[in-house]
A and B are shown apart, each in its own frame.
Chain A
């Protein structure tokens, strides 16, 4: 069926035409969706990014002014860019390493694996709003749980979310607590590594560390690639907890001292607080260009460090 219909596609036999119509019909919701919610918005936001568009006024074409202003005359934009890069460059590797560590723990021969797995994953399901409220409370410098526990060990805890130096590390700690599904994915990948490989490595006298570096890491590298890309894209658009803890609004967003003014938050503030849709579209397009080039770069470099079909 497959072969014949493919051969006939060029001549558009009745079968091919019928299949085409059926395919088109079944796919039509998404085709409309792509046109209305993807293609049109992409193009129009590119156009808006070259305009001054303070809704409800109509857009006025101003060429590259928005982009020039972003990189030369906006003291918040470099800050937002830096904050998000910080969150990504430090946060994502920490989250990947921690979730791999947790997956390795869960993959050991232990009793009650399902129970432990549930406990490890559950934080991923906590609503972002609740997560922000709860961790803000636990990180409370005076009354919070964490500084009071540190006090027991004679450590004077920092101000966490209230200090410009510690607010981003606090955010990373909070997000690392919620890695959840990353652990599940790594665990599934670990369970997919064939046991024979470990056994033959053992015969060759490889220790645990050697087995981890030479067998485990290469064989789970496709999953690392997937998590790296999705993690980076998510991290660059990070919004909810930053908005709730750092604050939105036009007055001092991303407090303290703009240290929680992440890219997604700055985009929101420009678009929905200042209602500067043209300027915000430029911010959005820069985000798109950054994440697209990072994705391409990682995919391109991944040929050197991911392994498919080794077995």
Chain B
């Protein structure tokens, strides 16, 4: 707090001691608040990590201890062996990559038609995109399930991946907003040089849109990797489960209390969460930009 005080003081315009003290108190209160709220946000994470390293008898201890003793690293071994963790991880990654590829291709094409091609009907299509963003997914869930079950696609990854190749309103919107910021002179110059739309799309617009495409990748990853309801409806066969279903497997087998498997369950939960945290740190700017684009300009 001393450092803060000495830095805050010179900035004050009036130098009377009373004002200096008041400002310092203000700064102190400010940091106290920020740190207090940060602790509220942090503590569940700490509790997750702490429980994942505790021995069964310590998990049942009252009052609970923060620091595990002994530190049970073996919970992480149990965590990935009680359920078929790596199998589920593999399944989840297959689905997630397919969704990302599908969305990158389809959403950028559609967004290009909305942002860079002057065609009759694009306003209607854009209105549909906006309306779809407001539509609860539950409304179409049942007929889509029936279509996929008629196709014999239950217990395959297809219902979870194929729709991504037909666009997604949110990401089309996001990419359209970005494409509109590309200077028109660039695309016009390319057109004067005789480039057609495909050339402009693939050589001008796409290379300039890496940040927006990164946003599509980052959000698609997070949402698909953690999706629960989709896999729950379509994947009955245990060998096809994703990690979210695998984690539910713990609840089914050991109950909400986790019993003896609590440490293992928390260890698996920690591992499941880790990719999200890594992605966020790698692509923090991308995420924030994406959220801001979707909300502020909408």
- Contact digits for A235-274, partner B, Cβ 8 Å, 1 yes 0 no: 0110110011100000000000000000010011001100
Q: Which of A45, A105, A127 contacts B225 (CB 8 A)?
A: A127
> Once the chains are docked, how many angstroms separate the CA of A245 from the CA of B248?
10
Tell me the residues in window 228-285 of chain B with beta carbons closer than 8 Å to chain A beta carbons: 228-229, 232-233, 243-244, 247-248, 250-251, 256-258, 262, 265-266, 269, 272-273, 276-277, 279-281, 284
Given contacts A20-B119, A116-B34, contact A32 B273 (CB under 8 A): no
Q: Does A214 contact B (CB under 8 A)?
A: no
B138–A148 touching, CB < 8 Å: no
| Size of interface on B: residues with Cβ below 8 Å to A | 98
**Which of B4, B122, B166, B280 is within 8 Å of A32, CB to CB?**
B166
- A16 to B121 CA separation, bound complex (whole angstroms): 12
Residues on A with beta carbons closer than 8 Å to the beta carbon of B109 = 26-27, 29
Q: Which residues of A contact B48 (CB under 8 A)?
A: 130, 134
Q: For the complex, give the distance between the alpha carbons of A36 and B229 in Å.
A: 20
Which residue on chain B has the smallest CB distance to residue A118? B284
Contact present for A29 and B117 (CB under 8 Å): no
Asked if A271 and B226 sit within 8 Å, CB to CB, the answer is no
Q: A30-B125, A244-B251 are in contact. Are A19 and B172 (CB under 8 A)?
A: no
Q: Does chain A have a CB within 8 A of B82?
A: no
B62 touching A26 by the CB < 8 A rule?
A: no
- 8 Å CB contact of B117 from A23, A45, A152: A23
Contact between A140 and B225, CB atoms less than 8 A apart: no
B109 to A: closest C-beta gap in Å: 5
* B197: A residues at CB distance < 8 A: 22, 26
| B-chain residues with CB within 8 Å of residue A1 when the two chains form the complex | 118, 188, 191
Question: Which residue among B121, B279, B291 has the maximum number of chain A CB atoms within 10 Å of its CB?
Answer: B291
Which of B165, B172, B296 has most chain A Cβ within 10 Å?
B296
Hey, which chain A residues are within 8 Å of B222, CB to CB?
A: 125
Q: Is A291 an interface residue (CB 8 A)?
A: yes
- A134 touching B47 by the CB < 8 A rule? yes
Q: Which residues of A contact B105 (CB under 8 A)?
A: 29
Q: Which 8 A-B pairs have the closest CB atoms?
A: A23-B119, A33-B166, A26-B113, A30-B167, A41-B143, A127-B226, A41-B140, A27-B113
Given A138-B44, A243-B228; 7 other pairs, CB 8 A cutoff: A29-B165, A125-B222, A143-B62, A145-B43, A185-B296, A223-B295, A223-B296
Provide 12 A-B residue pairs closer than 8 Å at the C-beta atoms, listed in order of the A residue: A31-B125, A102-B37, A118-B284, A125-B277, A128-B228, A133-B258, A185-B295, A233-B134, A244-B228, A284-B139, A288-B135, A288-B139
